Amino acid sequence: MSVTNLLENWSDFRHKHPVEDVPHDPYKWAMSIDMDACTGCNACSVACYAENNLPVVGKEKYAHGQAMHWIRIERYWPEDDREFPDQGAQFLPMMCQQCEAAPCETVCPVGATNHTADGLNSQIYNRCIGSRYCSANCPFKVRYFNWYDYPTTENVWPAEMVQQLNPDITLRSKGVMEKCTFCIQRIRAGERSVKNEGRILRDGEVQTACQQVCPTNAITFGNLIDPDSKVHQKWKAQRVELDVDEQVKDKEEGGSELRGYRILEELRPYPSVMYMERVRESAI
């Protein structure tokens, strides 16, 4: 295989999901985030600390870029030369995009990160050897490495605070990569609970912690292949499709009236998170 051939026919060679012989069934977890609703309040991030046993690393380690926030709010300013940001700031909740063709997966030397049948990018802690290739290859910079053994680090979880830890989640030790899981413990618990009833999860039966707490309901999470799910309907209304790298919005006439897009789509990671553009009033 020549490099020319590889580059010219990249999309044929590129491993991506869903592929026809292994379709996502019955679940494909996805999100939609409405940035006209997001206020940047950070409630989602705190919820994630509470739900997923994220360590508070402290000022010094934060300065070294070792913060462990699986979901963070990025703040952008308008890029013109106006003296004041007179249309406000722009907030963007950023977490693992659970890419269908995840760049992190292909570089893991031990297969610690790989794709699940329900469309999640999973991280197997006890297989991870800490090469950090995945983090280097992640275009969204949403993978977080345990540089320290936080459970035994002073003042991270002092004796009393240990009792707050969520028993559904393991504590990660030194040398392991971690990231947003779409609250997989909630998904799995939900799946088990409906299994006895012989059915699959309905929309809204599983919420991620960030979605549950969001005061403005900016985050929608659900099963993308369930036509009754909100997330399916939102993706459909915005005409965003999972397995293409250019959406109607950008390529067709009239598409500009839509708001849905995926970040860094041109890199073809096929993210499972659709963002909806922030709107600013034109009359004022």
Footprint of other proteins on 224-283 (CB under 8 A): 230, 233-234, 236-238, 256-259, 261, 263-264, 275, 277-283
Kindly state the helix (H) or strand (E) to which residue 114 belongs, with its residue range: strand 113-115
Least Cβ distance, residue 269 to other proteins (angstroms): 14
Q: Toward other proteins, which CB reaches closer, 1 or 284?
A: 284
Least Cβ distance, residue 123 to other proteins (angstroms): 22
Least Cβ distance, residue 188 to other proteins (angstroms): 13
Footprint on residues 70-129 left by other proteins (CB under 8 A):
72-79, 83-92
Q: Check binding of 46 to other proteins (CB under 8 A).
A: yes
Q: Are 274 and 240 in contact (CB under 8 A)?
A: yes
As a whole number of angstroms, the distance between CA 267 and CA 252 comes to: 20
The Cβ-side half-sphere exposure at 166, using a 13 Å CA radius, reads: 17
Single residue of 15, 22, 23, 62 touching other proteins by CB under 8 A: 62
As a whole number of angstroms, the distance between CA 153 and CA 167 comes to: 19
- What secondary structure letter does DSSP report for 248? H
37-49 b/e (C-beta count within 10 Å ≥ 16 → b): ebebeebbbbbbb
Contacts of residue 114, defined as CB under 8 A and 6 or more positions apart, other chains included, come to 105, 108, 121, 122, 124
Q: Check binding of 37 to other proteins (CB under 8 A).
A: yes
Q: Check binding of 39 to other proteins (CB under 8 A).
A: yes
Single residue of 159, 196, 197, 253 touching other proteins by CB under 8 A: 159
Footprint on residues 177-216 left by other proteins (CB under 8 A):
212-216
Q: Check binding of 36 to other proteins (CB under 8 A).
A: yes
Q: Name the pairing type of β-strands 273-276 and 29-34.
A: parallel
Q: Toward other proteins, which CB reaches closer, 42 or 137?
A: 42
How many residues are there in the chain? 284
Stretch that binds other proteins, among 14-22, 38-46, 180-188, 197-205 (CB under 8 A): 38-46
The Cβ-side half-sphere exposure at 247, using a 13 Å CA radius, reads: 25
Q: Which amino acid is at 3?
A: V
Single residue of 57, 96, 138, 176 touching other proteins by CB under 8 A: 57
The secondary structure of 140-171 as a DSSP string is T---EE--S-GGGSTTTS-HHHHTTS-TTSPP
Q: Toward other proteins, which CB reaches closer, 172 or 234?
A: 234
Least Cβ distance, residue 171 to other proteins (angstroms): 9
Least Cβ distance, residue 215 to other proteins (angstroms): 4
For residue 130, with 0-12 CB atoms within 10 Å meaning exposed, 13-18 middle and 19 or more buried, which class applies? middle
Least Cβ distance, residue 73 to other proteins (angstroms): 6
> By CB under 8 A, how many residues form the interface with other proteins?
82
Single residue of 8, 217, 228, 246 touching other proteins by CB under 8 A: 217
Q: Check binding of 218 to other proteins (CB under 8 A).
A: yes
Stretch that binds other proteins, among 22-30, 33-41, 107-115, 173-181 (CB under 8 A): 33-41
